[in-house]
Amino acid sequence: MCSELGESVMQLFLECRMAMDLWDLISTTCKMMSETAIRDHLLSKSEKISESSSNIIFAKPYIEHSNEPAVCVDETAHREVEVMIAEVEYIESEKLDDIEDVEKSVKMLIPGLESIDWIMLCETLNNVRRFSIYHKEALEDKLDTVISLLVKSLKNPRSAVCKTAIMTSADIFKAFGDQIVDFLDPLLVQLLLKSSQDKRFVCDAAEKALVALTSWVSGVLLLPKLQPYLKHRNPRIRAKASMCFSRSVSRLGVDEIKAYGLDKFIQIAASQLSDQLPESREAARALLLQLHTAYENSPVLAPEPDSPSEEPPLYSWVQFCESNLSKLSAQAVLRVTSVAREGVVAGS
């Protein structure tokens, strides 16, 4: 009986051992199939993007390496799976070619801008740039929708999409000018944010777009849009807004300055002189020099008399500053303008 029991135990042991070996074989096979599937998937995706990226048009000669994280079963699979890298090139606006099929491309604009495929999204953004340059009339009836989707692209975490959207903004500013003012608010805040971030190539593109904005959109319309950001809690945004504000004022005529209010300009510039960042302070100094020159060259900017029969009071620049600013602010403003005057005199 003992021998029969021993044989049964041995047989049970052998069956368990065979079951364990079979389980190990199945586990190893599944693992190898998973690793193969992952490699095939990434290879297929890489080939697809390589084909598509050869047709992408981006803006500015800059190469960005965009890493797609590889999914791995364990460390062995992780070492075997290669990380996919896609290279994208940005091309300047003047090097963009015209659209071949305008009718077909215009129908694909909105679906393309709504796409979750970043390759297609970038291609469509570049088509928006082409339309702005060569066929802007085709965008006029859908400009509000295009700008709304453009803002969405500016928020995209992928740098290639973000930068292409920024460059699209610059081309739209140049093409449409004052027509975009009604849709500008969400676009402006994103450009100020992007121009204030740490990614240098995105920041540079956003600064160029802001220069285009102040170059092609009327200062009279743009200044009220910029003014709230001069008091933004983010000092970098304040600095970028100050620079835009100063550039916009430089494009105003005497009558436009008077209509806006020279006293308001002086107060704004004086408040920026004590800002945290040097960019804001430099923009304020530039603004003050412009206002000082305009005031001295155009008596029409002087305060008007209370009665039409009275002679206009002869306010000097010093008196004007002291009458519209606090004592400390007036001193700071006069220090800036007097130093500039002394430099001009010394140079002559």
Alpha-carbon 292 to chain mean position: 33
CB 271 within 8 Å of CB 229: no
CA torsion angle 209 211 216 218 (round to 10): 120
State which H helix or E strand residue 64 sits in. Answer: strand 63-68
322/326 Cα distance (integer angstroms): 7
Rounded to an integer, the average pLDDT of 80-96 is 62
Closest CA to 139 of 147, 299, 98: 147
- Note the Cα 44 to chain centre separation in Å: 32
Lowest-confidence region among 28-42, 99-113, 134-148: 28-42
Yes or no: say if 269 and 288 are a contact pair by the CB < 8 Å rule: yes
The model's confidence at residue 289, banded by pLDDT at 50, 70 and 90, is: very high
pLDDT value at residue 24: 64
Query: Which of 140 and 66 is assigned the larger pLDDT?
Result: 140
| Mean pLDDT of the region 114-125 | 94
With CA atoms as reference, report the closest residue to 94 among 135, 136, 130: 130
pLDDT at 207: 96
- What's the pLDDT band for 341 if we cut at 50, 70, 90? low
Read off the tokens for 286.
């530039």
Domain residues of the chain, as ranges? 246-348
Summary mean pLDDT of the chain: 79
Reported pTM: 0.72
Confidence of residue 301 (pLDDT cuts 50, 70, 90): low
Mean pLDDT of all residues in 135-142: 93
- Please choose, from the candidates 91, 105, 173, 115, the residue with its C-alpha nearest in 3D space to the C-alpha of residue 135: 105
User: What's the pLDDT score for residue 178?
Assistant: 96
Rounded Cα distance, 235 and 196, in Å: 9
CA 241 to chain centre: 13
